[in-house]
Amino acid sequence: MAEHEGWSYLDSDNMDEFSERTKEEGWASQNSDGSGSFYGDDGSWGFTNADGSGSYYSADGSWGFKNADGSGSYYGEDGSWGFRNADGSGSFYGEGEDWGHWDSDNGKTYYGDSDDDTNTYSNSNSEDFGVADAVGAAIDAGLFATAVNRSKRKDKEEELKRAREEEERKRQEKAAMRAEWRKSPAGRKARKVKLIAIIVLTIALAIALLVSSLKVIGHSSSEMIGSGHGEVAEQLSAAGFWDVEQVEISDLAPSQAEQDGLVTNVKIGIFSSFTAELRMPCFIKPEVTYHTLASLNPPLSSEDAKGMGYQEVVSAFEGAGYLDVVAEPRKDVVVGLFNKEGEVFEVRIGDTKSFTTEDQFKPNLTVTIAYHSKVFD
């Protein structure tokens, strides 16, 4: 800050520039006892107390304060500074070698590097420090700016309100015009044409989708019947069908074991009989039906079989319809004091070691009957 701006902080007779600096948009408050505050939008702020003391902080970094007895100091953002004593004397020091001071008796102020009268800077015998008056001016300016801002905001709100109302009016007018047109003969005709166009387009798209999805089956229904269900499912998947459903029917007796897992029917859409050249959409789910052996209840539980003669247990499972019954000697009898030769100690159906007569198992699972036998047999 130049020296004359710093001077204005110390010299109450030269407040114009400082006052102008605070007349920016912001907000302020002033109390009945003369105290108050100001906050400028540029970041400046200040306050004054009822006893006349106060401070001001500028947005550029300069600041100053005044005491109730009239003394005070100023510090500029450029390094300049000054002070004022209660008796009215004071000094100012600029950013370079510039400086000035005045006495309380004659108010004579010097500026420069000597006491020569030719270096007189100004004559002033002000009794007030600029900060307090400046803060008061800032408060008044801030209140005025706040009122102006409030008025501007109100005008802006009114303008936005009118714009919204105009936009809503136009929207309602357009809606009314569209409703009126739809009721007219031309509007009804246009709706019919639009509906027909949508239907035609939908049908055309459906036909195009159907044609693009057609897949050649590659195997006739007669070729598939009698084959394994897994093989048939793989053939249909390879032909391009997305999902193949396999339907199992467990109804074969043990005497029909050779038919286990064989396909008895293939249905694709409405067709149960078809040639290898038939084309069908890939999104249709083929249905492959096959038969498996019916499950059987064990004739004995795993606990009941323990301790029985193994030949008796073998006969019981074979008689119940199980197709693969195996007797397995353990070879753990030496004298026969602890284990009796021929007694069953475990029965397994597949991998299951514990079961009851209420459980069900496929008859083609291996039934293993383990029993005690002599070591050297």
Verify that 10 and 113 share a domain, yes or no: yes
For 185-205, write each residue's pLDDT tens digit.
887 888 888 889 899 888 878
- Domain presence at residue 362: yes
Q: Which region among 105-119, 160-174, 227-241, 344-358 has the lowest average model confidence (pLDDT)?
A: 105-119
Verify that 271 and 309 share a domain, yes or no: no
Verify that 41 and 105 share a domain, yes or no: yes
What would the DSSP string read from start to end of 286-324?
-EEEEEEEPPB--SS-HHHHTTSBHHHHHHHHHHHT-SE
- Domain presence at residue 156: no
- How far apart CA 64 and CA 57 sit, in angstroms, is 7
Mean pLDDT of the chain: 78
pLDDT category, 28, cuts 50, 70, 90? low
Residue 196 is encoded by which pair of tokens? 């027909």
- Given 89, 115, 142, which residue is the final one in a domain? 142
- Domain presence at residue 181: no
- Domain presence at residue 329: yes
Residue 64's DSSP bridge partners are 56, 74
Per-residue pLDDT averaged across 344-372, rounded?
A: 96
- How far apart CA 120 and CA 125 sit, in angstroms, is 14
Q: What is the pTM of this model?
A: 0.45
Nearest to 247 by CA among 295, 215, 286: 286
- Domain presence at residue 103: yes
Judged by phi (left if over 0) then psi (alpha if -120 to 50, else beta), residue 23 lies in beta
- Given 244, 272, 293, which residue is the final one in a domain? 293
For 249-260, write each residue's pLDDT tens digit.
999 999 999 999
- Domain presence at residue 43: yes
pLDDT category, 14, cuts 50, 70, 90? very low
Q: Which region among 206-210, 219-223, 238-242, 306-310 has the lowest average model confidence (pLDDT)?
A: 206-210
Residue 71 is encoded by which pair of tokens? 């003394």
Per-residue pLDDT averaged across 344-353, rounded?
A: 96
Verify that 312 and 288 share a domain, yes or no: no
- Domain total of the chain: 3
The sign of the torsion formed by the CA atoms of 234, 236, 241, 242 equals negative
Domain that holds residue 21: 3-142
Verify that 232 and 351 share a domain, yes or no: no
For 55-111, write each residue's pLDDT tens digit.
777 777 777 877 888 788 877 777 777 777 877 777 777 666 566 766 766 554 555
CATH of residue 351: 3.30.10
- Given 111, 142, 173, which residue is the final one in a domain? 142
CB 363 within 8 A of CB 370: no
- Domain presence at residue 75: yes
